[in-house]
Homo-oligomer: A and B are copies of this chain.
């Protein structure tokens, strides 16, 4: 399997959702695919809301970090840069359409629907067994020098 965006651009990142260097994190691995960024992720038992179903906070954490990478990758390509800008989440809104099974992988898809120089709006879905279980829309902003997140991942 080729390197994910996270492994390629932030291998030492400790982020709970997407940091390759966080031993107890979710380890989201996001890959560009056409105009989208996609990821497959397998729940662990402690990510459940109750036996058999994935917790909604974990669903949001997956969609947040994965969408943030879709935004960063888009802004990088838009600017013709070699590395993504350090983007942070300004907001994200999750709709839980149906229970998400915790005994099967989930599939994440995200795409940028609007972008300016320093920010992007991303829409994303989380599906299980081919059915969309949750959707997300979020805004992700490239931070400037002086922000506590600047060059921190």
- Judged by a CB distance under 8 angstroms, whether A47 is at the interface is yes
Note all chain B residues with C-beta closer than 8 A to A26.
Answer: 57
The listed residue (B48, B91, B152) touching A14 by CB distance below 8 A is B48
Provide the residues of chain B in CB contact with A128, threshold 8 Å. Answer: none
Stoichiometry (number of copies): 2
Judged by a CB distance under 8 angstroms, whether A13 is at the interface is yes
The majority secondary structure among interface residues of chain A is mixed
B16 pairs with A47, CB closer than 8 A: yes
Q: How many angstroms from the CA of A147 to the CA of B50 in the assembled complex?
A: 13
Given contacts A46-B16, A50-B152, A95-B90, contact A65 B60 (CB under 8 A): no
Is A129 an interface residue, CB under 8 A from the partner? no
Bound together, the chains give a CA A89 to CA B99 distance in angstroms of 10
Q: Are A148 and B60 in contact (CB under 8 A)?
A: no
Known: A46-B22, A50-B153, A99-B148. A58 touches B16 (CB 8 A): yes
In chain B, what residue has the closest Cβ to A16?
B55
Given A55-B61, A55-B65, output 8 extra A-B contacts at Cβ < 8 Å.
Answer: A14-B45, A17-B55, A53-B149, A53-B152, A60-B60, A91-B96, A93-B93, A99-B147
Name A residues whose Cβ lies closer than 8 Å to a Cβ of B: 13-17, 22-26, 45-53, 55-58, 60-62, 64-65, 88-96, 99, 147-149, 152-153
Nearest 6 CB-CB pairings of A with B: A57-B61, A93-B93, A24-B46, A16-B55, A50-B152, A60-B60
